[in-house]
Amino acid sequence: MSYVDEVLERVKRQNPSQPEFLQAVQEVLESLRSVVEKNEERYRRDALLERLTTPERVIVFSVPWVDDNGQVQLNRGYRVQFNGAIGPYKGGLRFHPSVNLSVIKFLGFEQIFKNSLTGLPMGGAKGGSDFDPKGRSDREIMAFCQSFMTELCRHIGPDTDVPAGDIGVGGREIGYLFGQYKKIRAAFQGVLTGKGVAYGGSLARTEATGYGLLYLTQEMLRCNGHDLSGKTVAVSGAGNVALYAIQKAWQLGAKPVTCSDSSGWVYDPEGIDVALLREVKEVRRQRLTEYVKARPGAQYHSGKGVWSIKCDVALPCATQNELGIEDAKLLVENGCIAVAEGANMPTTLEATKYLQEQGVLFCPGKAANAGGVATSGLEMSQNSQRRSWSFEKVDGKLQEIMVGIFHNLDAAAREYGVEGDYVAGANIAGFLKVADAMLAQGVV
């Protein structure tokens, strides 16, 4: 049995009820076969793949808090510090009822390669809770965040682990988490990214994941003889990533026509009105039905279906496994030429394979959405220097990083004989740096 297959068997045996984690490990290891075969003896002797697929530390804790009725509520908190070979752990916190250990481990594992691809010194981690912020008052959100940080603060620090936001954790939550950290540790440190600009946050961090996704998509299209300008774009999600992806798509001359949330989706043939979407989702925190009420030409559909619209480019920006094989078939039938993942693992393995076989340009999330964590890295640099850079400077660096990531994974795919397979290219490019660092640091 090959070394990759042996490790896949071992991971399956050791993590029997963690489907998302197994899916992520399988995708990565399958695409590393050619690299691993070239170095099999060394990697095997150092148990490199076993160590790479096992988190360095998993922290699970209880998060008790009091709701507005005086009732004590209990949630579960997680921080998975997956791999610290190339820098302090870095990765977001997700607050969503679907959060469990499998989801956090899959996200932490992906984060290792994503962080490596940015070229910045950051290890891979992820955390979160099964807490559902929807419908909770500000006071309840604050109570939850304070209780969560009361435990988490023992495990993080500017040189050890620097969390950020993710689904359900935006500027408000980061603010409450930061306040509690500062109070308990009596130190004002760059321990979270995605902070408000008034207290150490970076300009352009809010926009970074969505903007970065479009910078990379534009470069991928350009290098394959297409122009993003004039293209129709389907976007899913209506949160942070989706919103700024839609905004940047407009700015680059494309026309974004859809968005979605967990209840339904919107098709706006005139193109999504960014100001209205932001008002509905970010300010009023309402459902998408409110968007359509204010925009008579737009259609609202409940449930799934956002990928049934004719488009040139599809950008899944909501959540994992939201684009399955039937969706992929519809996209191909409708002439879609490129898919780039704004969310983490939004496309199932089967759908990814199908899209690639059909010649659709496909860029995986660990590269396409790396703009968020890259800009978090830039926020850490600014915090260390106690300086703050202009929006244009950060945005310029982001653009440079995203274009660089695309060329890096394109080159890795060519070097290992899988030209045009950007999934393999991203995994290989991300992996090589981490593997070198692990080997150099010995058995630790």
* Contact between 201 and ligand NDP per CB under 6 A: no
Q: Of 115-123, 151-159, 179-187, 256-264, which segment contacts ligand NDP by CB under 6 A?
A: 256-264
* Contact between 428 and ligand NDP per CB under 6 A: no
* Contact between 356 and ligand NDP per CB under 6 A: no
- Contact indicator for 414, 421 with CB cutoff of 8 Å: no
Residue 104 half-sphere exposure toward CB, CA atoms < 13 A: 28
Closest contact distance (angstroms) between CB of 114 and ligand NDP is 8
Q: Of 220, 166, 250, 243, which Cα lies nearest the Cα of 402?
A: 220
* Contact between 192 and ligand NDP per CB under 6 A: no
- Is 248 known to be catalytic? no
Please give the structure tokens belonging to residue 236: 């899913």
Annotated active-site residue in 105, 126, 195, 281: 126
Tell me 216's DSSP state.
Answer: H
Rounded CA separation 342/241 (Å): 7
Rounded CA separation 352/345 (Å): 10
- The nearer residue to ligand NDP, 204 or 238, going by C-beta atoms, is 238
Please give the full DSSP string across 287-323, using - where no structure is assigned: -THHHHHT-TT-EEEESS-GGGS--SEEE--S-TT-B
Q: Which of 86, 238, 254, 280 binds ligand NDP (CB under 6 A)?
A: 238
Q: Which of 123, 127, 128, 372 binds ligand NDP (CB under 6 A)?
A: 372
Q: Of 19-27, 233-241, 250-258, 410-418, which segment contacts ligand NDP by CB under 6 A?
A: 233-241
Q: Of 342, 344, 394, which Cα lies nearest the Cα of 368?
A: 342
Q: Which of 18, 53, 118, 209 binds ligand NDP (CB under 6 A)?
A: 209
* Contact between 347 and ligand NDP per CB under 6 A: no
Closest contact distance (angstroms) between CB of 372 and ligand NDP is 3
Rounded CA separation 348/346 (Å): 7
Q: Which of 77, 163, 200, 342 binds ligand NDP (CB under 6 A)?
A: 342
Q: Which of 193, 232, 308, 344 binds ligand NDP (CB under 6 A)?
A: 344
Collapsing DSSP states into helix, strand and coil, what is residue 71? Answer: coil
Rounded CA separation 251/4 (Å): 44
- Contact indicator for 273, 247 with CB cutoff of 8 Å: no
Closest contact distance (angstroms) between CB of 339 and ligand NDP is 15
* Contact between 369 and ligand NDP per CB under 6 A: yes
Locus of tokens 């352009």: 204
Q: Which of residues 285-324 bind ligand NDP (CB under 6 A)?
A: 317-319, 322
- The nearer residue to ligand NDP, 8 or 314, going by C-beta atoms, is 314
* Contact between 241 and ligand NDP per CB under 6 A: yes
Residue 28 half-sphere exposure toward CB, CA atoms < 13 A: 30
* Contact between 168 and ligand NDP per CB under 6 A: yes
- The nearer residue to ligand NDP, 19 or 335, going by C-beta atoms, is 19
* Contact between 202 and ligand NDP per CB under 6 A: no
- Contact indicator for 63, 106 with CB cutoff of 8 Å: no
- Contact indicator for 190, 162 with CB cutoff of 8 Å: yes
Cβ-closest position to ligand NDP: 239
Contact footprint for ligand NDP (CB under 6 A) = 165-168, 209, 237-242, 261-263, 317-319, 322, 342-344, 369, 372
Query: Could you list the active site residues?
Result: 126
